[in-house]
Structure 1
Amino acid sequence: MPELIAPTIRLHSAWLEARAEWGPGLHEDGFGLGPSDEVDSPDGFAAWVALRADESGLKAVESGRGCTYRWIVEGDRVHGGIALRHGFNDYVLQFGHIGYGIRPSSRRRGLATWALGQMLDEARVLGLEKVLIVCEADNVASTKTIELNGGMLEGIRDTDSGAVRRYWIKI
């Protein structure tokens, strides 16, 4: 059975394995990986995990600017990550409240649909009435995932990085 867990240093090697499967880049949405994050060494990874925990902490939640990060795992295998961004700021309006990514070998199992449903429950606990989710316009898998969780298409917009679909889900 899959579960959502907070990022942990215990799964460093499993997380690196998942990241390696994606290949180079920052496209593993849901992990909160930034261009300057050093995650290969144990110390760098521990510092990065601590920052993700700080963003999920009470102060961040109360400010409405935090982000809840969860990893999608089964046993010691990291299948992907999902992030719930709190509040309404420019970043959320551009990229959405929720971002997720599933490693290629774990796709087509319903993990993203399941994880999104779980994060909608967390959004409810935070008091959000609706969430925005954005995906690339040609990402059929994400489109299905969002729609299966009640996403209503606002429209398709052109951005600097290509066309995106914008969905709203009422909580």
Structure 2
Amino acid sequence: MKLVKPTLQYREQIMAYRQAFINIREQPHGSCSLQHFDSFDKWLEKVKIQETGENLPPNRVPSTQFLSIENGKLIGLINIRHRLTPELLLESGHIGYSVHPDERRKGYATEQLRLSLFEAKKLGLEKVLITCDKTNIGSAKTIQKVGGILENEIISPDTGEIVQRYWIEL
């Protein structure tokens, strides 16, 4: 598996990924809000703006978008935030990620998260916060496998769900 930045080469796979999540009524975490974009070009434009950090709305921070690719196939999406706002520190963390619904339970999430930690270190981060809903046992196990230490659980002010907050030293 390797992490690559999104390009036109992956347009069809990215839009199919989006549709797969719409079909199961889930949000593709770590996707720079892909679910809200009917146009690949407009999504890619947002991804590039997020990475430069220029002219971002007050509640946004610079971030880098990656695709996890295995043998030319899109397996998952990862987004690494370069810094945290108070809101991101509470609930969302530095790294968001998802795995294509058809590729779950195959070990891909652990590998893509492990690879994203190297990328986070390249961005100058010394430790990262990764969060998941308490009900998402698979995600919690993935975070723990790559060294995540549970700091605490909070109740999301947005959803009322219990969110687990894990820290990883890089």
TM-score, normalised with respect to structure 2? 0.85
Give the number of equivalent residue pairs: 162
**Aligned residue for 2:108?**
111
SS of 2:77's equivalent in the other structure is strand
Q: Residues 130 and 168 of structure 1 are in contact (CA less than 8 Å); yes or no, is this contact kept in structure 2?
A: yes
Q: CA–CA distance in 1 between the matches of 2:78 and 2:146?
A: 15
In structure 1, stretches of 5+ residues that fail to align are none
Q: Is 1:57 matched with 2:52? A: yes
Relative to 1, partners in 2 of residues 1:123 and 1:109: Cα closer, same or farther, differing over 3 Å? same
User: What is the CA distance between 1:139 and its match in structure 2?
Assistant: 0.8
How much identity, in percent, do the aligned residues show?
33
Alignment root-mean-square deviation, CA: 2.2
Q: Distance in 2 between matches of 1:124 and 1:18?
A: 27
Matching residue of 2:68: 72
When normalised by structure 1's length, the TM-score is 0.84
> Is contact 2:29-2:77 (8 Å) kept?
yes
The one-letter code matched in structure 1 to 2:133 is: E
Does the C-alpha gap of structure 1 residues 34 and 22 become closer, same or farther in structure 2, counting only changes over 3 Å? closer
Q: CA deviation at 1:165?
A: 0.6
User: Quick one: which of 138, 142, 150 aligns to 2:139?
Assistant: 142
Supply the distance in 1 between the matched residues of 2:151 and 2:49 (Cα, whole angstroms): 32
Q: Tell whether the 8 Å contact from 2:31 to 2:79 is kept in structure 1 after alignment.
A: yes
Report deviation, 1:69: 0.5
Would you identify which runs of 4 or more consecutive aligned residues in structure 1 move more than 6 Å? none
Structure 2: tracts of 5 or more residues without a match = none
Q: Which residue of 2 aligns with 1:45?
A: 40
